[in-house]
Structure 1
Amino acid sequence: MYHAIVRAKVRSLWARIADGDYRAAVRLADPDVRFRFVGDAPPAASFTGRDAFDRWFRDLLDLFPGIRLTPYEVIARGWPWNTTVVTRFHVEAKLADGTPYRNEGVQWVRLRWGRMVDDYVLEDTARLAEAVRRQSASA
């Protein structure tokens, strides 16, 4: 039952982010959350802290205005003091030159008593780098 509740809360959180409330994720984060978005091009990052997490989201939305992140599979395991949540998701945005950007990714999160303490995100970096290049060329 606990895992079903976690999956429902995660889907609800992603829905809030899709509606523009990225701060819902920031509020869920532990003050010392560890975050890593794998890659070499923006929005690649590796840092610790809720304030940096908030800045990362703002920068992502500046880079890809109107971006849509849609989960299609959520897996939860563990206990409330050490829960792992893995989410497979789709990414969609309209680039500044009018072309669509579509990608997919995986997020691996560790929760402790309902707080996100570790967030690791993998997205197809080749597609992402091309989208960032197109955005920069249109700026």
Structure 2
Amino acid sequence: MYHRFVARRVRAVFAEISAGNWEPMVEGMASDFTYHFHGDHALSGERHTKAALRAWWERCFRLMPSPTFRVEEVLVTGPPWATRVATRVTVSAQILDGSDYENVVTQFLRMRWGKITEVRTLEDTVVLQRVLDRLAAAGIAEAHAAPITG
């Protein structure tokens, strides 16, 4: 029952993000958390504060307005004090140059008593880097900006 509740909540949060509201995701973080997006690009890096996480989401939405997150799979294991979640999500968006973007994201989360303590996000970095390079070439400097950390 608990695992189904967590999986439903994960799907609901992705639906909120797809609707333009990332705040439920930010508020789902524990007071002490790590959010790591793998790679070496404008969306990569590690964040430990809600302010940095909000700034990161703002950048995501500036670079790829109105993304859609289609949750393909959610796996949940462990008790409420040591829950682990794995997701496979397809993200799609129309980027600022008018082209379409689609990529597969996997996330590994750790939760404690309903709050997320760790997120590790892996996205096909080659696909993502190509889009960021195109945006930078079109004059959108933020596509090659340093990662948001903090």
- TM-score, normalization by structure 2: 0.88
Identity, % of aligned positions = 32
Structure 1 unpaired stretches of 5+: none
CA contact (8 A) 2:72 2:88 kept: yes
Structure 2: distance between partners of 1:21 and 1:96 = 19
Note the 1:8-47 alignment, pairs <5 A: 8-47=8-47
1:107 aligns with 2:107: yes
- Other structure's SS at 2:46 match: strand
Q: Which has the higher contact order (CA 8 A, sep 6+)?
A: 2
After the TM superposition, list the runs of 4 or more consecutive aligned residues in structure 1 that deviate by more than 3 angstroms. Answer: none
Matched residue, 1:62: 62
- Normalized per residue, the structure richer in strand is 1
Structure 1: distance between partners of 2:4 and 2:58 = 30
Matched residue, 2:116: 116
CA contact (8 A) 1:32 1:50 kept: no
1:11 Cα deviation after fit: 0.7
Structure 2 unpaired stretches of 5+: 140-150
- TM-score, normalization by structure 1: 0.95
Deviations 1:60-86 (A, max 9, x none): 111211122221100000010110111
1:55 Cα deviation after fit: 1.3
